[in-house]
Amino acid sequence: MTYRAPVNEIMLSMVHNGGFDQALKSGLYPDMDLDQLRAILEEAGKFATDVLAPLNQIGDTNPVKLGAAGVETAPGWSDAYSKFVEGGWSTVSGSPNHGGMGLPEIVASAISEMWNAANLAFGLCPLLSIGAIHALEAHGSQALQGQYLEKLISGRWTGTMNLTEPNAGSDLSPMRTRAEPVGDGTYKITGQKIYITYGDHDMAENIVHLVLARLPDAPAGTRGISLFLVPKFLVNADGSLGARNDVFCAALEHKLGIHASPTCTMVFGDKGGAIGYLIGEENKGLACMFTMMNSARLGVGIQGVGLAERATQQALAYAADRRQGKAAGDTAPLSAIIHHPDVQRMLLTMQSQTRVARALCLMTAASIDIANLSPDAAARKLASDRAGLLTPIAKAYSTDIANEVSSLNVQVHGGMGFIEGTGAAQHMRDARILAIYEGTNGIQAIDLVQRKLPMNGGQPVKHEIALARAMLATLPANSAYGQTAVRLSAALDAMEQATHYLLSAPTQAALAGASDYLRLCGLALGGAALAAQAVGDNSAQSIGLCRFFAERLATAAPGLALSVISGAEAVREVA
């Protein structure tokens, strides 16, 4: 079972959730139109299907290896990456000043969904590069930008994020990696980082590590962390590659999933010191890193969408093929299991939740575009706040859904789902990292209730609820929708009540309800997003999925609000 890019579904969500149409009309994307968008998406989908998808299982069964010359990727991976670069796919979101296409974030997100649906372990590599590109574009000196950006954007070099150490994960304050000024403007970096994705590999000529480290006189905690660029190979003034830098992969993790993506222990300076270059100001590294993190958080949400889409496609194909039992009204001696109500429940859950996850991510991406591109400063500020609010929801909700949907795919397959060759198990294993990396989903929930909710006295979240209510107001009085309007209104009421409570709740109470609140936001805003799709294309499919989501899944919203509002005291010290 291969992957087919759902171009129509993606465009539906871009237009009716991401406001793509309106943005075109307003001139936000001057170089785009819908025909061109479709052409790009179809071309990307073809590459995903033809080149990346066939390598997904090969990567799973041929984990990366650490050889004498460094990390070796699975058969065919280096070739595929070369094709990726030759096809120009690495340049999608980079600045045109350095050879990028500079496509809108929403388009880049739509394309990224396809890479990750086809091959999650592969999709991680460009995802990390994009984070490094964003950080360099925002904080790098002219000299560093000149030397590194074009190669990174072209994809000939790849990027990494070096944050985690054994004692510094969700909390970076105990970080110990050190940077000593050499005197010539460069620094010697020494220390060890763990869980470094694509920290080493054989697919690109050079690897550009963005590394958090402490200067000798740095204050303790997170205010004493600086960001450095540490290339695998030093770069000569003419842009050619120089000496091997003192940064090496010392070990690879043996992981539950994404076996083809190297997760490296990186050792800096074991042979005298790795040469690094400061990015941004001293001791302001965390702020620079957050530029990467925010971009990467949406990127991981998109990975969740891709994985969920892939698992849903596999489940649908299997359920249409596998025959067991006899469904009501079926004349065949054995019915395809797609006709059994409980299997339909699973498939509709997968389809509707995947749509919701996609909508949340594309809404976030669209806000980033307005924040970046609008000529109106007030609109930019509004959109920037909106992106801030939606990012943790997009990341956490979408990756929770990826886990749930990939597990449902296993369940639809029955015993076959537990057999590795089927591929369903791989999707489930691969998905499991998504709720953990780039800030665990618990961290996202804390970010939501502690930093994003209180922005401007809660204006962004109130505005989001108002937008969602406006969408529901457009639902027609049509019996095909059943109780959709009632259920989705109840979900928004629940979100509004929980929001009201959290905006003045004590910190501990807010933290106790954070994860349930994030889920509630996903259900309430996601339901409205599916209503917008249904009203938008008025198809039986969109109406049916919106109705299923409203009547069967959004029904959980009032209970979640109750948990948030009156369940804080139940969270206590654990014995």
Residues 320-349 that bind a second copy (CB under 8 A): 323-326, 328, 334, 338-348
Least distance (Å) between residue 383 CB and a second copy? 29
Q: Is the dihedral of CA 412, 416, 417, 418 positive or negative?
A: positive
Nearer to a second copy, 90 or 398 (CB): 398
Element housing 533 (H / E): helix 507-537
Q: Which of residues 232-291 bind a second copy (CB under 8 A)?
A: 253-257
Helix axes 120-139, 424-431, angle to 10 degrees: 30
Q: Which of 396, 307, 365 is nearest to 115 (CA)?
A: 307
Residues in contact with a second copy, counted by CB under 8 A, come to a total of: 94
Distance CA 318, CA 336 (A): 9
Q: Contacting a second copy (CB under 8 A), which of 260, 293, 435, 528?
A: 435
Instruction: Give the amino acid at 80.
Output: A
Nearer to a second copy, 133 or 535 (CB): 535
By the 8 A CB rule, do 503 and 453 touch? yes
Q: Which of 264, 282, 274 is nearest to 234 (CA)?
A: 274
Q: Which of 189, 325, 335 is nearest to 266 (CA)?
A: 189
Distance CA 245, CA 197 (A): 18
Q: Contacting a second copy (CB under 8 A), which of 180, 493, 537, 551?
A: 551
Q: Is 573 in the site for a second copy (CB under 8 A)?
A: yes
Strand partners, 207: 158
Residues 6+ apart with CB under 8 A from 373: 28, 29, 104
Q: Is 197 in the site for a second copy (CB under 8 A)?
A: no
Least distance (Å) between residue 352 CB and a second copy? 10
Residues 6+ apart with CB under 8 A from 177: 162, 165, 189, 190, 191, 192, 193, 211, 212, 213, 214, 268
HSE-CB of 54 using CA atoms within 13 angstroms: 10
Q: Contacting a second copy (CB under 8 A), which of 70, 76, 454, 482?
A: 482
Q: Contacting a second copy (CB under 8 A), which of 102, 169, 181, 454?
A: 169
Q: Is 425 in the site for a second copy (CB under 8 A)?
A: yes
Q: Which of residues 438-477 bind a second copy (CB under 8 A)?
A: 440-442, 445-446
Q: Is 575 in the site for a second copy (CB under 8 A)?
A: yes
The residue from 113, 150, 309, 438 that is catalytic is 438
Nearer to a second copy, 363 or 495 (CB): 495
Nearer to a second copy, 21 or 537 (CB): 537
Least distance (Å) between residue 67 CB and a second copy? 21
Q: Contacting a second copy (CB under 8 A), which of 174, 219, 242, 476?
A: 174
Least distance (Å) between residue 123 CB and a second copy? 17
Nearer to a second copy, 295 or 484 (CB): 484
Q: Which of residues 502-531 bind a second copy (CB under 8 A)?
A: 507-508, 511-512, 514-516
Q: Which of 460, 457, 480, 565 is nearest to 531 (CA)?
A: 480
Q: Is 438 a catalytic residue?
A: yes
Q: Which residues are catalytic?
A: 438
